[in-house]
Structure 1
Amino acid sequence: MAEAAAAAVVVGSGGLLSPGLGIGWRSGLAGPIARLTGLSFAEVVAENLHDHGHGIDVPAPLQELIDGGLTAVAHGISLSLGSAAEVDQTRLAHLRSAGEAINAPLVSEHIAFVRSGGEVPAGAPHADLLEAGHLLPVPRNQDSLLVLAANVRQAQAGLGVPLALEPIAALAEWPDNSMTEGRFLSELLDRTSALLVLDVANVYANAVNNGREPLAALLEFPLERIAYCHIAGGQVLDGLYQDTHQEPVPVEVLELAAELVRVAGPLPLMLERDGNFPPEPAFFAELDSIADAAGMPRVTPGAAARGAG
């Protein structure tokens, strides 16, 4: 089973990213990241790359990593592929430009909506475009599939490189969901030929918050379509597991990542840390814990001397 799944993953991802440990590049972590060796890839939030009128500005520390041979991926957060309105062409163009600026072999976005409405009519007394400011879940039903598939295909036509889609973490389920997350994803990816960004922490959060067993939920996902994987920390607040990206990765999520690799074989797997950045030793220790759980080489300074353990 493991060998068959691993072979399927290689076919699905197209070899765009090499298996190994990656990192979500953040300016607040630029110094420690520069000291890592043997990284497989880095993911960059596209909306954090800005165009000041002469093209996308790539931060110097990130550009140095790319010039040194590190593969980078642009990760969008604002296309709102789950919205009923068509894809915003300005945002789509920015995602493409961000990917081109860092020479990304693929780009990624979320299966979510972040806005509703359309352009504001001339003379309208109020704005018709509503921005949520958060990634919000779409109902898992046939109507949502139609909207998502159309928007994904529109995005693919404007990108120039493969698109990978990430299911989000949510605190609650829509009452009219008619499919499991795994089946919904399989149908969407079949209709669009898109790839999958599998966020292990999101799988854990959604399963725990909805009374499911995390590994059972994970194994329903179309693992053969994985482009790469996220792992991140969170915490329980008000009885719900919240995927904050600001705490250390919990043991349960590390164990789920280990099970994923056991079933699917070696994968590109990266740490997302969006805030509350720890001191460098703690940051390196967290990366080591992920590498060890997934059976990957460590990438932190002195890792070879310390060995895995």
Structure 2
Amino acid sequence: MRGLGIGWRPEIAGVIAELRGLGFCEVIAESVNPSEPPPHLLVLGIPVVPHGISLSLGSVGPVDERRVTHLAACAEALGSPVVSEHIAFVRADGIEAGHLLPMPRTREALDVLSSNIIAAQKSLPVPLAVENVASVVDWADADYTESEFLTELVTRTGVHLVLDIANVYANARNKNRDPWDELRRIPRETVAYCHVAGGSERDGFYHDTHTDPVPDAVLELVRALAENGLPALMLERDGNYPPAHELYDELDAIADAARLPRVTPFDRTPR
């Protein structure tokens, strides 16, 4: 992946269509019918990454082959160079959580996750990348730090990473840690692309909402990473969509922080 991307959503399809030089888009795989992919997405003429949210790679037991098949079909229909999912579980004993739940960073959990990733990779036509998730609290008795867990996972499975910079920031802030300490230890050579998103403070915790602007603290982390070369990265926005000019300003801020060319229209009306 290369350049600056954005999470494609139907609500902002028209805004995205106005961008020039966009590197790639990411689409929620569960929202795609592989037999009839969104035409507004296909005409962009850029790489499209199906991003799964329901595979539950961290669940005990085998992965759901129907969900893997759907992810594979999305990749085929969209001509995707990679597909992505999360380092999380969303169900246990048949009960759906409706949320991406963080995994305990234990040897047993790593065994389960590694096994499921290896199984999923065998059924996918393109490489798999997995994303670190945000959490408010940690499980007890962790055997690894977050960066150690990711490094061992990559070593065992050969999987790529989707490095969510905003999630690293959220986790560090909620646990009174330095986000840069974790970021600089993550094996960056395995990162397929990065996520950047906004959040907000609520009840004493920072929540990764995807409905708020990207904070300056996250942009500072992007700048720091860019000093040594940064993989492709993209803006995630999943609701509370702002006016087009505000979304363009946010994309410009990310591009500038990452030292990437801007992709917004040059003829925007000054405000």
- Deviation of 1:160 after TM superposition, in Å, equals 1.5
Paired with 2:142 and 2:35, the residues of 1 have a C-alpha distance of 40
3-state secondary structure, aligned to 1:57: coil
Query: Quick one: distance in 1 between partners of 2:53 and 2:84?
Result: 9
Higher relative contact order (CA 8 A, sep 6+): 1
Structure 1 residues 143, 59: CA separation in 2 closer, same or farther (over 3 Å shift)? same
Q: CA RMSD in A?
A: 1.4
User: What's the TM-score, normalizing by structure 2?
Assistant: 0.97
Count of residues in Structure 1 that have an aligned counterpart in Structure 2: 270
Q: Of 115, 118, 122, which aligns to 2:91?
A: 115
Equivalent in the alignment of 2:249: 285
Distance 1:267 1:165, change over 3 A: same
Instruction: Find the partner of 1:294 among 229, 248, 258.
Output: 258
The structure 2 residue matched to 1:93, chosen from 49, 64, 69, is 69
- For residue 170 of structure 1, give the secondary structure of its aligned residue in structure 2: coil
Secondary structure of 1:113 counterpart: strand
Q: Is the 8 A contact 1:36 1:299 kept in 2?
A: yes
- What pairs with 1:193-208 in structure 2 (closer than 5 Å)? 193-208=158-173
Q: Which residues of structure 2 form unaligned runs of 5+? A: none
Are 1:82 and 2:47 an aligned pair? no
Contact 2:75 2:125 survives alignment (8 Å): no
What residue identity is the alignment partner of 1:43? E
Out of 153, 168, 186, which is 1:188 matched to?
153
Corresponding residue SS for 1:301: coil
**Equivalent of 1:28 in 1, 6, 11:** 11
- Confirm or deny that 1:274 pairs with 2:238: yes
Distance 1:103 1:36 in 2: 21
Q: 1:256 corresponds to which letter in structure 2?
A: L
Q: 2:42 aligns with which of 63, 66, 71?
A: 63
Deviation, 1:266, is 3.6
1:173-205 deviation per Cα after TM superposition (whole angstroms, max 9, x unaligned) = 001212100000000011000001000100100
Contact 1:298–1:304, Cα closer than 8 Å, also in 2: no
The equivalent residue for 2:49 is 73
Correspondence 1:1-309 to 2 at 5 A: 17-18=1-2, 20-50=3-33, 55-65=34-44, 69-117=45-93, 129-263=94-228, 265-302=229-266
Using the size of structure 1 for normalisation, the TM-score is: 0.85
The CA distance in 2 between the partners of 1:158 and 1:60, in whole Å, is 26
- The gaps in structure 1 that reach 5 residues or longer are 1-16, 118-128
Q: Is the 8 A contact 1:83 1:147 kept in 2?
A: yes
Aligned-partner Cα distance in 2 for 1:304–1:262: 29
Q: Percent identity?
A: 53
User: CA offsets, 1:145-188, max 9 Å, x none?
Assistant: 10001000000001021000101001110012121000000000
User: Retained in 1: the 8 A contact 2:226–2:257?
Assistant: no
**Residues 226-268 of structure 1 deviation map (CA, whole Å, 9 limit, x = unaligned):** 10000000001111110000000000000101111113x0420
Asked if 2 retains the 8 angstrom alpha-carbon contact of 1:204 and 1:253, the reply is yes
